[in-house]
A = this chain, B = another copy of it.
Amino acid sequence: MTAAFYQNETKFYVAVDCIILGFDQKELNVLLYKRKFEPMMGQWSLMGGFIKAGESIEEAASRVLTDCTGIDNLFMEQVGAYGDITRDLGERVISVAYYSLVNMNDFSSETLEEYNAVWAKVSEVPQLIFDHNQMITDTLARLRRKAATRPVGFNLLPEKFTLPQLQNLYEAIYQTQLDKRNFRKKLNAMDILEKLDEKDKKGSKRGAFYYMFNKEKYDHLLEQGFYFSL
């Protein structure tokens, strides 16, 4: 047992909350849960959990993510710590928010029901408990910055996606319209996508070619001082 160096100090409950973002071909969505315990039971909230004695913050966030999605190794990044005194109406709780980017197709409606979870368009998020709405706002700001300079957007799409899908995604992230030709020109110049022979026929009669993000190519270009930018 180590000495109790800090015994005069106060201890706090520390939780993690997860902002799980998905994309449904038109808009960004966030996964919301009906809270299963007091206080505020039955209200909409983000999925969260208390940090346990033996785990780091990252581990806690990763555990919560896996527990409530059934998926491992999701893209995940810290948003920040939230610590207003009265932010939790139960007791004083400090929370560290993490956001994650997922492919909505990986969530069956059974999984969602099992967890009392629903996807909500980020433009139509209801009032959530505590400061969870603020966490979502902060996450979206962070995502906009991040997506502009790092290829994180691909986490929101299936492995195989079409260029119109990709463009819709960036339009959703930036809340703006992009020019089709300029968008494709840029991607073409970056040379980080793999064009497949296969077409997606769901979106149109003509069909759009599938592409895949080529991580090896991207990593290789990075080493040569290349910078992603969209």
Contact = CB atoms under 8 A, between A and B. Distances in A.
Contact of A90 (B5, B37, B56, B85): B5
Interface string A15-37: 00000000000000000000001
Interface stretch (A47-55, A63-71, A171-179, A188-196): A47-55
Contacts of A50: 6, 9-10
Contacts of A52: 9-10
| Interface of chain A: mostly helix, strand, loop or mixed | loop
Interface residues of A, number: 37
Given A14-B14, A90-B5, A84 B56 contact: yes
Interface in A91-131: 91-94, 96
B3 A13 contact: no
A224 interface: no
Nearest to A55: B85
A57 interface: yes
Given A38-B5, A80-B78, A92 B13 contact: no
A11 interface: yes
A73 interface: no
A28 to B, nearest CB: 22
B92 A53 contact: yes
A2 interface: yes
Interface of A: 2-6, 9-14, 37-39, 50-58, 78, 80-85, 90-94, 96, 145
18 contacts: A2-B90, A2-B91, A4-B91, A6-B13, A6-B50, A6-B93, A10-B51, A10-B53, A12-B12, A12-B51, A51-B94, A54-B85, A56-B85, A57-B83, A58-B83, A78-B81, A81-B96, A145-B145
